[in-house]
């Protein structure tokens, strides 16, 4: 077991969290299995309707009696907040607020119901603001991550945030897929890790098998940071870039974002046609660099157990064996 301030605060066995990937990528099944295995599973509620979110929460509850969380991308999903809090998850997981949103009052609504708040940030300034607003846990997310990200690398932003918000527990996110990543995050002062891409490539993730297989096939060098997805969707994602696989679709539109914004309607239709025809490389696929560390689609519970077992081994054996009082030089 690896116990940290995070596991003690949340009442979970392992300092491993699955990201609340929105739009149906992290449902009650995935979150429930992660929590049942001793991690903290998080449902991604963003861009769904309240009924779908309620069903996902019910499914997680059927699978586990242990804590799980629900994630909201604040900038465009605050209308779901009351429903999510009403369902009483253990944790409200949040990210990407607009500048005009009042984090303090959002977090207070969760706290009033005894729900803990875990807020993800891409910058040091955002970390300080969310600590002041009352977050219980801060997730420091580095640019290696899949999905929407900032530009700071994980090793730097995690360490900076750990120092800035102490004694608040910090989780490391971005580029972590195995026990070595967990051990490294703990060495940086984080109290656990939050993983998206790794949990996308699990049996339970409801996304199509071919998209998961693309993660297994990737060596991690084929992702790119871009704003092509936002030019397509028109979503004003405050301060974020997108890390996506460098698919044929992305290649086609890189550097042509203004034209993409103008031709949005017809491009959407082309994407839908490509999906119907099974053209797997003509799409947007949010994926992190750690795809290069993932070589199998596994059950989510196995992912949790493997990460912890590997990290324990590194912390107990590999690293202590390196520390010695004996000099090499004679
Ligand atoms: C497909 C996908 C969807 C994501 N959706 C969300 C989301 O809805 N809300 C959120 O806070 N983070 C989301 N993220 C980002 C994760 O929370 C996390 O920061 C990131 O995946 C960490 O990097 P990793 O992919 O290297 O593990 C998403 C990530 C991926 C890969």
CA-proximal residue: ligand 1, atom 5 (nearest): 21
For residue 174 and ligand 1, the question of a CB distance below 6 A is answered with yes
Report helix angle 50-63 to 28-36, nearest 10: 30
For residue 197 and ligand 1, the question of a CB distance below 6 A is answered with yes
Tokens of 287: 């994926």
How far, in Å, is the centroid of ligand 1 from the Cα of 321? Answer: 35
For residue 192 and ligand 1, the question of a CB distance below 6 A is answered with no
Q: Where are the beta strands (DSSP E) in 55-165?
A: 68-73, 91-95, 116-121, 137-141, 147-149
For residue 173 and ligand 1, the question of a CB distance below 6 A is answered with yes
Domain coordinates of the chain in residue numbers? 5-207+295-322, 209-276
Is pTM beyond 0.95? Reply is yes
How far, in Å, is the centroid of ligand 1 from the Cα of 21? Answer: 5
How far, in Å, is the centroid of ligand 1 from the Cα of 25? Answer: 10
Q: Where are the beta strands (DSSP E) in the chain?
A: 16-18, 41-44, 68-73, 91-95, 116-121, 137-141, 147-149, 170-173, 192-195, 223-226, 241-245
> What residues in the chain have per-residue pLDDT under 50?
none
How far, in Å, is the centroid of ligand 1 from the Cα of 120? Answer: 10
For residue 285 and ligand 1, the question of a CB distance below 6 A is answered with no
- Which of 8, 7, 6, 44 is CA-nearest to residue 199? 44
Distance from C-alpha of 232 to C-alpha of 229, rounded to nearest angstrom: 5
For residue 178 and ligand 1, the question of a CB distance below 6 A is answered with no
For residue 28 and ligand 1, the question of a CB distance below 6 A is answered with no
Sign, Cα dihedral of 75, 160, 150, 197: negative
Total residues found in the chain within this entry: 330
192: helix, strand or coil? strand
pLDDT at residue 280 in the model? 85
Please give the C-alpha separations between residue 74 and each of 92, 140, 243, 266, in angstroms, as whole numbers.
Answer: 11, 17, 19, 29
pLDDT at residue 206 in the model? 97
Query: 5-207+295-322 sits in which CATH class?
Result: alpha beta
Tokens of 196: 């998206």
Half-sphere exposure of 25 (CA within 13 A, CB side): 24
Distance from C-alpha of 57 to C-alpha of 117, rounded to nearest angstrom: 17
For residue 214 and ligand 1, the question of a CB distance below 6 A is answered with no
CB–CB of 107/78 below 8 Å?
no
Closest ligand 1 atom number to CA of residue 174 = 23
For residue 71 and ligand 1, the question of a CB distance below 6 A is answered with yes
């Amino acid at each position: 077991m690896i116990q940290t301030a995070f596991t003690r605060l949340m009442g979970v066995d392992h300092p491993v969290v699955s990201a609340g990937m929105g739009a149906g990528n992290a449902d009650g099944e995935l979150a429930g299995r992660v929590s049942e295995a001793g991690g903290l599973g998080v449902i991604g509620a963003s861009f769904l309707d309240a009924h779908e979110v309620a069903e996902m929460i019910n499914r997680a509850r059927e699978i586990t009696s242990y804590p799980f969380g629900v994630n909201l991308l604040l900038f465009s999903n605050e209308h779901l907040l009351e429903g999510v809090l009403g369902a009483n998850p253990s944790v409200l997981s949040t990210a990407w607020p607009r500048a005009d949103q009042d984090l303090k009052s959002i977090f207070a609504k969760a706290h009033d119901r005894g729900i803990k708040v875990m807020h993800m940030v891409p910058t040091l300034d955002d970390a300080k603001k969310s600590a002041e607003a009352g977050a219980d846990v801060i997730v420091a997310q580095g640019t290696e991550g899949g999905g929407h990200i900032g530009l700071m690398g994980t090793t730097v932003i995690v360490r900076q945030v750990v120092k800035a918000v102490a004694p608040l527990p910090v989780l490391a996110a971005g580029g972590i897929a195995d026990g070595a990543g967990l051990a490294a995050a703990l060495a940086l002062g984080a109290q656990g890790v939050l993983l998206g891409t790794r949990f996308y490539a699990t049996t339970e993730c409801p996304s199509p098998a071919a998209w998961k297989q693309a993660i297994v096939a990737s060596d991690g060098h084929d992702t790119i940071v871009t704003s092509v997805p936002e030019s397509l969707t028109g979503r004003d994602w405050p301060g974020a870039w997108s890390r996506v696989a460098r698919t044929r679709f992305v290649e086609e539109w890189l550097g042509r974002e203004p034209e993409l914004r103008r031709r949005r309607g017809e491009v959407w239709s082309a994407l839908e046609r490509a999906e119907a025809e099974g053209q797997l490389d003509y799409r947007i696929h949010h994926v992190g660099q750690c795809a290069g560390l993932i070589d199998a689609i596994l059950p989510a519970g196995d992912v949790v157990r493997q990460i912890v077992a590997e990290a324990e081994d590194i912390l107990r054996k590999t690293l202590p064996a390196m520390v010695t009082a004996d000099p090499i030089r004679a």
